Structure 1
């Protein structure tokens, strides 16, 4: 696989991230450096850098005598992810709503429409994640934004593991209500809707 342009280890990490998130690599599966290096046509050093990035995200873990493997996805992990999202996303949204630009609001509306129109679980999850990131784009808190983005990726693993085979197209009324609150620059209302929305995470 030929990867041009930006740092190869970062791009390899992104590809592996989505494979793990979508369940192409199962929890506990070994991430073989030789195989990954051959697949992407890179050195073992580059692969190690990518795997260290996955480890920092919580998607991979080093096991004795096995090397780097896909991180487990147990009930405690899922519960922790839900609690962290409920704690952090409302903070970012409250800061974001008063500062969102017209272009940022337009992007949020676009991905909201993509979410409603999604016909597969993969398309819905990507659009849903983009929506949640779009509505906090005005917070101007890069560390918080990065942490939320990572939490959503980790939670997506649980979503695909549980719902990929039985997901059905649907509209998200809470998304529409959040957009309406954003248009009114009503941060407390948007916050209340998001908090309710996040309590429904399963």
Structure 2
């Protein structure tokens, strides 16, 4: 599927918000964004509405659209939702995991370990989680999990970026081993520990 200009604007702005390049409270001016992307206001409005739907921006009366603040209560909620929904998806994934899907997940794990910086690592980390969960074949569940990853990524950048160092993720490796053994209990318990550790 070809990306639209609204997709491009959304992806660019969401990444800037997630990484902290656009800070909480910063105004998202339609005219400035339209000029930057050399487009009309229509795709800009669409992109801003998507940012709002994902909790990255908020529309305020007479003030326009602004970047939302990080809310500690929301972070805790996101972690709990990820624990519940990702373990549900993983339980179904284990049953449907093909050798090709397992190989793709392992390649995603290795790519994550080889990341040179935090933005690269965070993007690859999302790809790894998506790879182990996609075989569940539950598209609505996966879509909700994708949204939760966007929310938790912003928290990760805010709290872990100053401390980030390149490392081997032993949890990712342990999840892959559990998937190879089709050990649902081990895979889900490691995943729960892994998600909670990020908080």
Task: Name the counterpart of 1:18.
Answer: 15
Unaligned segments of structure 1, at least 5 residues: none
Q: Which residue of 1 aligns with 2:109?
A: 112
Aligned to 2:48: 51
For the Cα contact (< 8 Å) 1:54–1:60, is it kept in 2? yes
Asked if the contact 2:156/2:198 (under 8 Å) is kept, the reply is no
* 2:118 matches 1:121: yes
The whole-number CA distance in structure 1 between the counterparts of 2:187 and 2:31 is: 48
Contact 2:93 2:135 in 1 (8 A): yes
**Number of equivalenced pairs:** 198
Q: In 1, distance between residues paired with 2:183 and 2:47? A: 41
Tell me how far 1:40 sits from its aligned partner.
Answer: 0.7
Partner of 1:136, secondary structure, is: helix
The alignment partner of 2:107 has SS state of: helix
C-alpha deviation, 1:82, in angstroms: 1.0
Q: SS in structure 1 opposite 2:162?
A: coil
Deviations 1:90-110 (A, max 9, x none): 001001111122222111111
Task: Indicate conservation of the 8 Å contact 2:27/2:66, yes or no.
Answer: yes
Q: Does 1:155 align with 2:135?
A: no
TM-score (norm 1): 0.93
The answer on 1:90 being equivalent to 2:120 is: no
> Which consecutive segments of 4 or more residues in structure 1 shift more than 3 A?
none
CA RMSD between the two structures = 1.2
What are the ranges of 5 or more consecutive residues in structure 2 without an aligned counterpart?
none
Aligned to 1:198: 195
